[in-house]
């Protein structure tokens, strides 16, 4: 599953199969919804932007004309 490391805190954000994001920071773990709502765990706060970026709606890269040009160029 996709994951990201927070540049400032070093926390690791991992998308889970059920759609929740597992955040591990300083040996504490918490589970959050992509909209930032806390679900469970010892860690009760997380970066809202990373949660949304990792767990939010993914766009179709071919729907963007700039991405289409890159895809066409790399073929």
SS3 at position 3: strand
Q: How many domains does the chain have?
A: 1
pLDDT at res. 65: 67
pLDDT at res. 56: 81
pLDDT at res. 5: 93
CB 3 within 8 A of CB 14: yes
* pLDDT < 70 regions, the chain: 61-75
pLDDT at res. 21: 95
DSSP lists the bridge partners of residue 5 as 12
Instruction: Name the pTM for this structure.
Output: 0.76
Q: In sequence order, which residues have a C-beta less than 8 Å from that of residue 30 and are 6 or more positions away?
A: 22, 23, 38, 39, 40, 41, 42, 43, 44, 45, 46
Domain of 17, in residue numbers: 3-73
């Amino acid at each position: 599953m996709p994951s990201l490391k927070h540049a400032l805190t070093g926390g690791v954000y991992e998308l889970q199969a059920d759609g929740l994001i597992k955040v591990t920071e300083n040996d504490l773990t918490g589970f959050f919804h992509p909209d930032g709502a806390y679900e469970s765990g010892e860690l009760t706060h997380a970066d809202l932007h990373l949660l949304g970026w990792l767990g939010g709606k993914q766009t179709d890269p071919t729907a963007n004309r700039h991405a289409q040009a890159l895809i066409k160029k790399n073929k």
